[in-house]
Amino acid sequence: MGTHSGIGATVTVVTLPAWRGPTTEVPLIEGMTLDELLDSLCIPGDTEAIMVNGGYEKPDYRLQSGDRVVIIPFMSGG
């Protein structure tokens, strides 16, 4: 069994802190990049820290079925 995109392929998206949004399964479109995923979720990539499977990836990273994307807001204040 491979990690290619196909019927039923999804990416898990976790938004932290948990009160900002639920963990969701997003259908994966063949060839979808991390940046395209963020655009589809209306999340500005320049205002959040994004991790894929526990590591940082570039916006052009091609997502694979089963990937876990964690969205962490940048903190502000003083």
Model confidence at 57: pLDDT above 80? yes
State the pLDDT at residue 69: 95
- Whole-prediction pTM value? 0.78
Residue 36 reports pLDDT greater than 90: yes
Query: Which whole number is the average pLDDT over 62-67?
Result: 96
- Listed residue (25, 22, 23, 16) closest to 48, CA to CA: 16
The C-alpha angle 2, 52, 77, rounded to 5 degrees, equals: 170
Answer whether residue 32 shows pLDDT above 90: yes
**In contact, 24 and 10? CB cutoff 8 Å:** no
